[in-house]
Amino acid sequence: AASVPAVNGMNSLTGLTFPWMESNRRYTKDRFTGHPYQNRTPPKKKKPRTSFTRLQICELEKRFHRQKYLASAERAALAKALKMTDAQVKTWFQNRRTKWRRQTAEEREAERQQANRILMQLQQEAFQKTINQPIQADPICVHNSSLFALQNLQPWSDDSTKITSVTTVASACE
């Protein structure tokens, strides 16, 4: 049996031990016992979700439709009129702007996809028309035999009669 040669310097590390290699019993006094969160202060009680009346929501929505951002004085006046706190109005407007941005982004994406579908359909229809229509002679190409031959070259066509020979066109131009 062949022995695997030792990597340079590995033999000198065999007697070396690191703290993580030693028995765990030595470190138990430093560890917390029980559930990891049991020694922490209890978390704050969550504030219940605020319920707004239909009238409040209606007024907030109307104002948002007219004005996406409120100055602090406007916010305070609206909060007072709706019997809400300034913080509630501020938070409602922040959340509503987030919802508005998401909705407008989704609408823009849907419009972009619809425009792409229409563009692809129009391109496909135009391509089908070019395949089915005979090629009209371009006046510039008629006077130049090379361009005329290239204009009539249709690699997808099986009908070789549509291809005009360069010599025929060249003799016609002279």
**73: confidence class by pLDDT, cuts 50, 70, 90:** very high
Can you tell me the mean pLDDT for 24-49? 68
Name the residue with higher pLDDT: 151 or 70.
70
Domain ranges of the chain: 52-133, 135-174
pLDDT single digits (tens) 80-101: 999 999 999 999 999 999 999 9
Full-model pTM: 0.46
- The CATH number of the domain covering residues in 52-133: 1.10.10.60
φ, ψ at 49 (rounded to 5°):
-60, 135
**Rounded distance, CA 82 to CA 64, Å?**
14
Cβ contact 89:71 at 8 Å: no
**45: confidence class by pLDDT, cuts 50, 70, 90:** confident
